[in-house]
C-alpha cells in the first residue's frame, strides 16, 4: 500500500510535468500507458483544512476506447466511468489519477497493486471474481451484435445456426470475447485490441459481425456508415469496479460512495449526460 501511494504520487508528478512540457510533443496513446489526473478534491471540506488527505491520489486503471464510459476528449479521459470515479474519489478526499491501458491488462494491474482499482465498463463474471473483488454494480450492460446493413445475419440465432461459419470480431479479453469463443469456437473469433478496431474490421469485411456492449456499439455505428445493431441481444450484464482481492477497506469505501451517489442522483445525472 505504501509503495502504491508513493508510486501514485510519483505518477501524478510525472503527469503534471507532462502537461507542462507536452505542448508540441506527440503522444501515442495506442501503445503506451497514459495517466490523467482529475483534481476532485477542490470542493471537499478536507481540502480547505489543508491536510495531507486531500493531496492523496487514487489510481484507476481503464481502457479509454469505450465510449460513452471512457474515451478521450482531446488529451483528457472523460465519460461515465471517469466522472463517477471522480465523484467517488472526491468522497474519499483524493485526487483521481486515470491510467489508460489495454483492457486485458486491467485485472493484472489491480491484482499487482500497481493501481488502486479498475473501472472500464467491466462486467462482473465468475472467472473475474476468482481474481479480483467487485463493488456493487453501478450500471447494466447488454452484449449486442453489430453487422453490415443487408447482412445475412439478421438475428443472434443466425450465429448459432447449424453449419454457420460467420466470423465474429471482439475486443480482446472482454466478455464478448469469452462468450463468443465459448459459443462459436476460437476459430470463428478474431480478437482486436479495441472495439473500434473490431468495428473497422467489420466495415472492411474481415469479420461478419462484432459482439460488443450496447452503448459503445451505438457510438461505433454512429461513427461508421453502413452498420446496424441487431435487435435481438446476446447477453445481459452488470458493470462494477474491481479492487485487489481482500482489499475490503477500499471496497467498503467505494460501495458506500456508490450508495450515496446513487441516492443523491449524481450517478443518474452523469449517465443522463452521456446517454440520451
- Residue 120 is a binding residue for ligand ARG (CB under 6 A): yes
Phi/psi of residue 229, each to 5°? -105, 130
CA dist 224 and 216 (Å) reads 12
Among residues 168, 188, 195, the alpha carbon closest in space to that of 104 is found at 195
- Residue 179 is a binding residue for ligand ARG (CB under 6 A): no
CA dist 156 and 60 (Å) reads 34
CA dist 142 and 145 (Å) reads 10
Q: Which of residues 2-61 bind ligand ARG (CB under 6 A)?
A: none
- Residue 242 is a binding residue for ligand ARG (CB under 6 A): no
CB of 58 to ligand ARG, least distance (A): 18
- Residue 83 is a binding residue for ligand ARG (CB under 6 A): no
Total number of residues that touch ligand ARG (CB under 6 A): 16
Name beta bridge partners: 136: none
Nearer to ligand ARG, 61 or 230 (CB): 61
CB of 75 to ligand ARG, least distance (A): 18
- Residue 213 is a binding residue for ligand ARG (CB under 6 A): yes
C-alpha cell at 152: 445475412
Residue span 155-174 as binding mask against ligand ARG, x where in contact by CB under 6 A, dash where not: ----------------x--x
Among residues 201, 102, 187, 203, the alpha carbon closest in space to that of 151 is found at 203
Which residues form the interface with ligand ARG (CB under 6 A)? 62-63, 65-66, 70, 103, 120-123, 141, 171, 174-175, 213, 237
Amino acid at each position: 500500500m505504501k509503495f502504491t501511494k508513493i508510486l501514485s504520487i510519483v505518477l501524478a508528478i510525472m503527469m503534471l510535468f507532462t502537461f507542462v512540457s507536452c505542448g508540441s510533443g506527440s503522444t501515442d496513446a495506442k501503445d503506451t500507458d497514459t495517466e490523467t489526473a482529475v483534481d476532485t478534491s477542490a470542493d471537499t471540506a478536507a481540502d480547505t483544512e489543508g491536510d495531507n488527505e486531500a493531496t492523496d491520489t487514487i489510481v484507476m486503471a481503464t481502457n479509454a476506447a469505450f465510449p460513452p464510459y471512457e474515451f478521450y476528449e482531446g488529451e483528457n479521459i472523460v465519460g461515465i466511468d471517469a466522472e463517477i470515479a471522480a465523484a467517488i474519489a472526491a468522497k474519499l478526499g483524493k485526487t483521481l489519477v486515470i491510467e489508460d491501458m489495454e483492457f486485458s491488462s486491467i485485472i493484472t494491474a489491480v491484482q499487482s497493486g500497481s493501481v488502486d482499482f479498475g473501472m472500464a465498463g467491466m462486467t462482473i463474471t465468475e472467472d473475474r471474481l476468482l481474481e479480483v473483488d467487485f463493488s456493487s454494480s453501478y450500471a447494466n450492460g447488454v452484449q449486442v451484435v453489430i453487422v453490415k446493413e443487408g447482412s445475412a445475419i439478421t438475428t443472434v440465432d443466425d450465429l448459432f445456426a447449424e453449419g454457420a461459419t460467420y466470423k465474429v470480431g471482439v475486443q480482446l479479453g472482454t466478455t464478448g470475447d469469452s462468450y463468443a469463443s465459448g459459443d462459436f469456437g476460437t476459430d470463428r473469433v478474431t480478437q482486436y485490441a479495441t472495439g473500434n478496431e473490431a468495428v473497422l474490421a467489420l466495415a472492411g469485411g474481415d469479420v461478419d459481425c462484432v459482439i460488443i456492449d450496447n452503448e459503445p456499439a451505438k457510438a461505433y455505428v454512429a461513427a461508421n456508415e453502413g452498420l446496424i445493431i441487431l435487435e435481438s441481444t446476446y447477453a445481459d450484464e452488470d458493470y462494477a469496479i474491481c479492487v485487489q482481492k481482500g482489499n475490503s477497506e477500499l471496497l467498503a469505501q467505494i460501495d458506500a460512495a456508490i450508495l450515496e451517489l446513487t441516492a443523491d442522483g449524481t450517478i443518474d445525472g452523469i449517465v443522463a449526460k452521456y446517454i440520451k
